[in-house]
Chains A and B, each alone.
Chain A
Amino acid sequence: MYKEVLQGVDNVAIWPIISFVIFFTFFIVLLWWALTVDRGFVRSMSELPLEDGTDINQPANTTSRL
């Protein structure tokens, strides 16, 4: 049944091709970025949550900093 359903849609073959191209390109570019990105940049990004500027008023008795 599904073949007739799909054939009823204009230019149906373009849909899977479009989605494949979008996905493939996107993930290749993303992977390329992840492999080549600057280490210093990654380090500074991953340390962002730990530096929120509130150290100034950290009470001595909190357990947050393990």
Chain B
Amino acid sequence: MELVKIHYDNKIVKAFIIASVIFGIVGMTVGLLVAIQLFYPAFNFEFQYTTFGRIRPLHTNAVIFAFVGNAMFAGVYYSLQRLLKTRMFNDGLSWIHFWGWQLIILAAAITLPLGITTSKEYAELEWPIDIAIALIWVVFGINLIGSIIKRREKHMYVAVWFYIATFVTVAVLHIVNSFEMPVTLFKSYSWYAGVQDALVQWWYGHNAVAFFLTTPYLGMMYYFLPKAANRPVYSYRLSIIHFWSLIFIYIWAGPHHLLYTALPDWAQSLGTVFSLMLIAPSWGGMLNGLFTLRGAWDKVREEPVLKFMVVAVTAYGMATLEGPLLSLKNVNAIAHFTDWIVAHVHVGALGWNGFLIFGMLYWVVPKMWGTKLYSTQLANIHFWLGTLGIIFYALPMYTAGVVQSLMWKEFNPDGFLTYPNFLETTTKILPMYMIRAVGGGLYLIGVFIMTYNLIKTAYAGKFIANEEAEVAPMVKSASVGGGWHHVLESKPILFTVLALVSILIGGLIELVPTFLIKSNIPTIASVTPYTPLEVHGRDIYIREGCVGCHSQMVRPFRSEVQRYDPKFAEYSKAGEYVNDHPFLWGSKRTGPDLHRVGGKYADSWHYRHMYEPGEVSNGSIMPSYKWLFEQTVDKDLTAGKISALRTVGVPYPDGYEEQANADLDKQAAKISESLKMEGYEVAPEAEIVALIAYLQRLGMDVKSAKTAEVNK
């Protein structure tokens, strides 16, 4: 058979690798900074653009979408061409994809510190950037599917299927979760409210982990691990079962992020059952990866590439066993809202994604530059620093999570909370936060060493921009005997549609009933829309990222109602959130829950607390928010906000936007008066006044109804 000469495009791979390493360093450095802020609040610099609430999303976005994202594209572009025996579909699209993605990252790096955020985790970017992400993702998709169509290899290797599932699912997730009503260029309100918003968000959030951090990396594992070990995957059959069962089951598991919340019970149980089922495909995949090295473990001892990959696959196994266990309601009751979850995600991020990326880079960079790795010894040092970094990160966080959770739940013999002051449970675990920062620091030092090693490697070799290959042209019946599945593998479009259908089934069955029951979320008559001043206050709460440390979800536990609502013992109900666009339940309690904070303290307490938290609560690690006292609320936006909220379903009367500012002035004057009586002079239009109005409103719908009931 006549062989044809083709050239694989290495230049685009190189670009994505450079971007990944640079943004990896940036993202991890910001991560280290936020870690330090938690035990040394002075590192917030009393500067609004560097406070924890604003730069924590910068850290998560940079690591997920810039570090892991760029490395994913590098891995996909490298392996896809070689698996399909073709150059990418279109070089122009490759570069549009590359630069588009970097511009999106730049936009995120600018807008997040400015407080321009939707507050929905891992989907914080505002609507114009959301549109850009969708467009660039489609460019990636066209390039991916186009390459598959023009391939010279009849059958699609399993890695390619994982890439297709990634493209299809991320597109669906991103679009569904990003429905929002713009107010200005930089501000929008989620289309969904309360419980529905929470369900959509965590359906997205969970599957972003599944289809952005997991499936493309499994594809890369199935390519790079056999390449690095120079032996085929342990079981190709198992990899196929792994693929279909993973994408079928993963999509259902999102509600496990919402156990014991106001989400209907049936949805919570659905999340738990599917999460437990996930152990099977996840461990099937892990074992398939590890067994690929059967009879080659001696190489693991010598070859840093394999060391990194073995730890990565092991971390994948650990995280995917832990995830289902965390989805059991009794385990979740302890772990949710604590640092246990932070430990869990970092085993995934640092161990699975990070180490697989490092393994891939140590293998692919020498190949693309046609040389050997500059220093195996430095790579080994990186390996040990990284491994120790993960251990020093995860262990203290597990300890901190369990210790704090048990302190929250402890009662004394008289039936009162042993630690009624939340702050006590936080200061107790500060030493753990310090050790965590050391772990993160070690990991980051390892990355610097890798960067040096890779740069030296590149300088020692010569970059092969277009790698030559000799391949056979595609023959219609190249191999036989694969049955119906083999037919499927040779039909990429059909395959893509089937993958889409299988993820849509889960998504639809999970989401549709929740939308149908809109009228069935038990309504609470006393729940009314926020006042215009409270709307502004809520937007400040969103801008400052308060949701990063404070939940608004009192779970139905005696320990929680006693702590947060001792008077009426009311946990949070679904009906309380019907006007919350977006929901602000939060996922982590570094500070106390705020859903019942209204009326708990005087206005002046909030005033002093926001100005200097440490002076009101001795030892508080909350940053001070001095700028809220100088900046003023933009009343020109009030009307637009009211009408946007009405569009998404908040029952403001028609024409209310006309009188909204008058109401706003009245309420602001009242708060400013009350502060003045206690000796605090503040302009009524200062942002702090709006924020106090919002905080004092939280939980009042239920509290005032209860008070009225009692008085009757």
Interface residues of B (CB under 8 A from A): 3, 6, 8, 79, 82-83, 85, 153, 155, 157-159, 222-223, 226-233, 236-238, 240-241, 244-245, 248, 264-266, 296, 299, 303, 363, 366-367, 370-373, 464, 467-471, 479-486, 502, 505, 509, 513, 516-517, 519-520, 522
Contact = CB atoms under 8 A, between A and B. Distances in A.
Contacts of B519: 8
Interface of A: 1-2, 4-6, 8-10, 12, 15, 18-19, 22-23, 26-27, 30-31, 33-34, 36-38, 40-50, 52-54, 56-57, 59, 61-66
A50 B230 contact: yes
A31 B238 CA distance: 10
B479 A8 contact: no
A36 B513 CA distance: 39
B479 A15 contact: no
The 3 closest A-B pairs by CB, nearest first: A38-B481, A53-B469, A52-B82
Contact of A46 (B153, B233, B296, B516): B233
Nearest to A38: B481
Nearest to B501: A22
7 contacts: A6-B266, A12-B513, A37-B481, A50-B231, A57-B468, A62-B372, A66-B299
A5 B264 contact: yes
B248 A23 contact: yes
B488 to A, nearest CB: 10
B227 A5 contact: no
A49 B299 contact: no
Given A41-B479, A52-B82, A5 B517 contact: yes
Contacts of A15: 509, 513
Given A34-B237, A66-B228, A52 B85 contact: yes
Contact of A48 (B157, B245, B264): B157
Contact of A49 (B226, B370, B485): B226
Contact of A19 (B266, B505, B517): B505
A18 B513 CA distance: 14
A48 B153 contact: yes
A5 B482 contact: no
Nearest to B296: A66
B219 to A, nearest CB: 11
Contacts of A23: 248
A12 to B, nearest CB: 7
Contacts, number: 149
A50 B227 contact: yes
A1 B483 contact: no
B503 to A, nearest CB: 12
A63 to B, nearest CB: 5
Contacts of A40: 479, 481
A64 B223 contact: no
A6 to B, nearest CB: 6
A40 B522 CA distance: 60
A49 B159 contact: yes
A37 B371 CA distance: 40
Given A34-B238, A49-B232, 5 more contacts: A4-B520, A8-B517, A26-B248, A65-B230, A66-B230
A62 B509 contact: no
Nearest to A7: B520
A63 B372 contact: yes
Nearest to A29: B484
A31 B483 CA distance: 13
Contacts of A64: 227-228, 230, 363, 366-367
B85 to A, nearest CB: 6
A49 B227 contact: yes
A42 B367 contact: no
Nearest to B236: A46
B264 A1 contact: yes
A9 B468 contact: no
A38 B482 contact: yes
Contact of A9 (B248, B513, B522): B513
Given A37-B482, A37-B483, A54 B513 contact: no
A52 B303 contact: no
A48 B233 CA distance: 10
A48 B226 CA distance: 10
Contacts of B232: 43, 46-47, 49-50
A46 to B, nearest CB: 4
B371 A62 contact: yes
A27 B245 contact: yes
A63 B379 CA distance: 14
Contacts of A9: 513, 516-517
Nearest to A44: B479
Interface centre among A8, A40, A41, A47 (most CB of B within 10 A): A41
A59 B27 CA distance: 36
Nearest to A48: B157
Nearest to B482: A41
A4 to B, nearest CB: 7
Contacts of B223: 49
A53 B470 CA distance: 5
